[in-house]
Structure formats: structure tokens, C-alpha cells
Amino acid sequence: MGNRLFQEARQAVEALKVAEGADAEHLLAVAKNAISSAYANTTIAEQHQLAELQKEIDAISSH
């Protein structure tokens, strides 16, 4: 089944990638929170994937 919080973080980043305008601002906050929430309860491999998702968020938010 997998880690629910980890899955939610991945989904939040995917939603952020296609969002525009005010939705993007809201989804940016949601994605950051999801990654933060998921981090403590993940495996080492998932933590590495969350770090990659964080890099994606950083790249999106710097535009």
C-alpha cells in the first residue's frame, strides 16, 4: 500500500507542476507542507525521493 503521507507529497508536487496563478501559490504551500509532514515517517529511499521533490518545488518557486 505504501506510505500515505509520501504519496500525498508526490501528488501535491505533481499538482503544483500544472497549476497556474493563485492555485499555484496555494499548491506550493500544500506541497511544502506535505513534504515536511511525510519526511519523518519515511524510509531512507523515500527521504531521497522527497529531497528530489523539494528540488522540483524550489525550481518551480524560483520562476
How many domains are contained in the chain? 1
| Residue 1 confidence class, pLDDT cut points 50, 70, 90 | very low
Taking residue 21's Cβ as centre, other Cβ atoms within 10 Å add up to 7
Burial of 20 (0-12, 13-18, 19+ CB in 10 A): exposed
- Range of the structural domain that residue 34 is part of: 4-61
Tens of pLDDT, residue by residue over 12-63, are 999 999 998 889 999 999 999 999 999 988 999 999 999 999 999 999 888 7
pTM of the model: 0.87
Mean pLDDT over each residue of the chain, to the nearest integer:
92
